Amino acid sequence: MARISTIETGFYRIPLPVTLSDSTHGEIAAFELITCRIRDADGAEGVGYTYTVGRNGGATADILKREIPPLVEGREADDTEAIWHHVWWGLHYGGRGGPAVLALSALDIALWDLKARRAKLPLFRLLGGFDAHVPCYAGGIDLDLSVEALLAQTDGNLAKGFCAIKMKVGRPDLKSDVARVAAMRKHLGDGFPLMADANMKWTVEDAIRAARAFVPYDLTWLEEPVIPDDVAGHARIMQAGGVPIAAGENLRSLWEFKNYIVAGAVSYPEPDVTNCGGVSAFMKIARLAEAFNLPVTSHGAHDITVHLLAACPNRSYLEAHGFGLDKYIEHPLVLADGKALAPDRPGHGISFDWKGLAKLSP
């Protein structure tokens, strides 16, 4: 083992080629990337990152730069579990979520990358290794696209090799949502995996009404129909809506996922490794889901998460959308027969274009 020597934080604002939108976040013209580079006393390096959709990235970067280094410098880098708990409780009073857990996630990802690199193993094998070929869907941020543009985007994703598609719902009128879902189902054909994401738009009653309206179109799941704080509401939608529910991208801890799962409030737990507490927390959430015979999916950060789902026997689908990040990494995600391939490079295998990113520092 080697002790942590230095931590370097990066903060970048990455413009998107096309402004995106959903039902709650509004227009998204850029996303914020916060990176964490850890070096140990032997000079080995691990890299982690987190992101936002445009706000609070500076707060996350500040925590990584100012608050976390005194908690971890000089500790054994391989002690990921001990470090995770030390940082969690060190930031707990002013944390328990938000920028603090995003910063912890980036740190934890970097530590696991360092550990796998030192072991000369791809991350998914260090985590246990199940199957490097992970079912994958294209996650569209497309609420305001016309039906014609939505179908054209879908054709582009099909041409890239995706064999499952997610679309946005949550427009001002349910009739419009239903028409778009119907158009997608007709376009894709029966049996093609299709998901819909409402981004927390509705009340519970509105969500139940929407879910029932979507039943004829055979959705794989309806995602985030209401706010993440309403566990009981999700359970009611599960019971009355007739459609499986995915949720979790806005949950920030293992314990929040536990509350959902034991309440029967989710069909597909959906952690995001960059905001749920990192690799350490993601894998515990996946194992918890497995114990309840639930399939686990993912949100964001597909280049890291492909390794995590490749180590899970209960994985369902990897979400793929890079928020423009592919331009700044050496090896973008590879698809084969509709599945994402966990790379066999040591660590998570992400190599950033640091010079290119430096031009985007705010």
Whether the predicted pLDDT of 86 surpasses 70: yes
Name the active-site residue from 115, 299, 307, 339. 299
According to DSSP, the residues that pair with 36 across neighbouring strands are 9, 48
pLDDT tens across 25-68, in order?
777 888 999 999 999 999 999 999 999 998 999 999 999 999 99
pLDDT at 25: 78
Cα dihedral 128, 131, 135, 138, rounded to 10, equals 60
- Specify the residue for token string 């969500």: 207
More confident residue, 323 or 70: 70
Please give the Cα distance from 57 to 185 (Å, whole number): 37
Name the active-site residue from 168, 234, 307, 348. 168
User: Cα separations (Å) of 130 from 169, 187, 314?
Assistant: 34, 34, 10
The model's confidence at residue 19, banded by pLDDT at 50, 70 and 90, is confident
Q: Which amino acid is at 300?
A: G
Whether the predicted pLDDT of 22 surpasses 70: yes
Are 294 and 261 a contacting pair, CB within 8 Å?
Answer: yes
Concerning whether 299 is annotated as a catalytic residue, the answer is yes
What is the pLDDT of the chain when averaged over all its residues? 96
Please give the Cα distance from 70 to 48 (Å, whole number): 18
Query: For 333-361, what is the mean pLDDT?
Result: 97
First CA to last CA across the chain, in angstroms?
36
Pairing of strands 318-320, 133-139: parallel
Concerning whether 186 is annotated as a catalytic residue, the answer is no
pLDDT at 108: 98
The model's confidence at residue 270, banded by pLDDT at 50, 70 and 90, is very high
Please give the Cα distance from 307 to 76 (Å, whole number): 24
According to DSSP, the residues that pair with 352 across neighbouring strands are 329
> Could you give the percent of the chain with pLDDT greater than 70?
99
pLDDT at 20: 72
More confident residue, 5 or 141: 5
Are 296 and 272 a contacting pair, CB within 8 Å?
Answer: no
The model's confidence at residue 322, banded by pLDDT at 50, 70 and 90, is low
pLDDT tens across 146-184, in order?
999 999 999 999 999 999 999 999 999 999 999 999 999
Helix or strand holding residue 105 (H, E): helix 98-119
Axis-axis angle for helices 80-90, 98-119 (nearest 10): 170
